[in-house]
Amino acid sequence: MNGTPSAVIDRVKRNLVGLRMPRALEILDVTLRGIERGETTALDALDILLTEELTLRENRRVRMALQMARLSAVKTLAGFDFAFQPSLDKSRVMALAELQFIGRAEAVHLIGPPGTGKTHLSLALGVEAVKAGRSVYFASLADVIATLARAEREGALREKIRYFCRFSLLIVDEIGYLPVTPGGGNLFFQLVNARYEKGAMILTSNRGFAEWGEIFGDPVVATALLDRLLHHAVVFQIEGSSYRLREHADLLPEHVRMKASIQPAPIPPTLRHRGRPPKNGGADQDIG
């Protein structure tokens, strides 16, 4: 640079390498040219370099944290179609995004038929928690129980439960979709009991609480689980239709449609005589 000794620039670049600031190093030359042309003050240039570097590091942190959280997909609250699920109070859901429930170690229950967006919401809240620097772990109930059962066989159950308790937010998906293996309810209870009043949870289920005895194969265990999971709880009962099948519900047998609370998507008048409605409207909300 004409106004800056090359030796100083070289030293700054070496220091940026030593400090592991790749983004600042990448934009240093263009930033210095802005100073020479009078477009940027020295203070503004310093702010630009530090902001760009911090943004890079934050994005990298979030990506790694999302991978460690084992989130099955990256979803957002902005991508959720609240208009399709009028039974959901949007303001209550958005209040959860402030993450105060994590500090209070509460359990958030998302209950409703398949396709109503339970997993989408749980993933979106998990993403918000990751962005805020909270540790998150996502898994289906079947995977959690399988992991605990394997640890029990290996004599490492206590350590595995401690591992699950490290996370600020534990998301347990798909309660009621698959039968719980014998003894699985007791293992899950031990985990829930260990996190009780210590760590927040989000749980999604297609079955009401009255059916948990059937889900876990033991009414006593189910009662003990609910005793802890409903003590400090936020419950959302979603009564809407399946988002995934909204355009094809008329193809299903009537008894299946009624059981899943699925109604065909309304066809706009302009499309009634022009073939089938588009297939990809709102593809972001695709997990029940």
Over the stretch 21-43, which tens digit does the pLDDT of each residue have? 999 999 999 999 999 999 999 99
| Residue found by looking up tokens 């990256």 in the block | 74
> What was the pLDDT predicted at 89?
92
> What was the pLDDT predicted at 268?
37
Q: CA dihedral defined by 250, 251, 256, 257, rounded to 10 degrees?
A: -20
Q: Which two tokens stand for residue 184?
A: 């699985």
3-state secondary structure of 201: strand
Average pLDDT value for the chain: 85
Cα–Cα distance for residue pair 194/231, rounded to 1 Å = 14
- Asked if the model's pLDDT at residue 65 lies above 90, the reply is no
What totals of helices (H) and strands (E) does the chain contain, helices first? Answer: 12, 5
Of the pLDDT bands very low, low, confident and very high (cuts 50, 70, 90), residue 157 is very high
Query: Alpha helix (H) ranges present in the chain?
Result: 6-18, 22-36, 42-69, 90-96, 100-103, 118-131, 141-153, 157-165, 184-195, 212-216, 219-229, 254-259
Of the pLDDT bands very low, low, confident and very high (cuts 50, 70, 90), residue 254 is low
| Residue found by looking up tokens 């031990």 in the block | 190
CATH among 3.40.50.170, 3.40.50.300, 3.30.70.60, 2.60.40.10 for 82-237 = 3.40.50.300
Q: What is the pTM of this model?
A: 0.73
| Residue found by looking up tokens 């293996």 in the block | 181
> What was the pLDDT predicted at 264?
37
Q: Please, what is the end-to-end C-alpha distance for the chain in angstroms?
A: 57
- Asked if the model's pLDDT at residue 269 lies above 80, the reply is no
- Asked if the model's pLDDT at residue 276 lies above 60, the reply is no
Number of Cβ within a 10 Å radius of residue 267: 13
Q: Tell me: the pLDDT tens digits for 185-222?
A: 999 999 999 999 999 999 999 999 999 999 999 999 99
Q: Tell me: the pLDDT tens digits for 81-95?
A: 888 888 899 999 999
- Asked if the model's pLDDT at residue 99 lies above 50, the reply is yes
Distance of CA 21 to the CA centre of its chain: 30
What proportion of the chain, given as a percentage, has pLDDT over 70? 82
Helix, strand, coil percentages (3-state) for the chain, rounded to 5, are 50, 10, 40
CA distances from 60 to 14, 54, 120, 122 (A): 22, 10, 23, 22
| Residue found by looking up tokens 């994590």 in the block | 102
- Asked if the model's pLDDT at residue 260 lies above 70, the reply is no
State whether the Cα torsion 162-154-69-111 is positive or negative.
Answer: negative
Q: Tell me: the pLDDT tens digits for 100-121?
A: 999 999 999 999 998 888 999 9
Cα–Cα distance for residue pair 164/172, rounded to 1 Å = 11
> What was the pLDDT predicted at 77?
93
- Asked if the model's pLDDT at residue 263 lies above 80, the reply is no
Strand partners, 110: 204, 236
| Residue found by looking up tokens 């297609």 in the block | 206
The amino acid at residue 237 is: Q
List every span in the chain annotated with CATH 3.40.50.300: 82-237
In the 3-class helix/strand/coil scheme, how is 213-227 assigned residue by residue? HHHHCCHHHHHHHHH
Cα–Cα distance for residue pair 13/4, rounded to 1 Å = 13
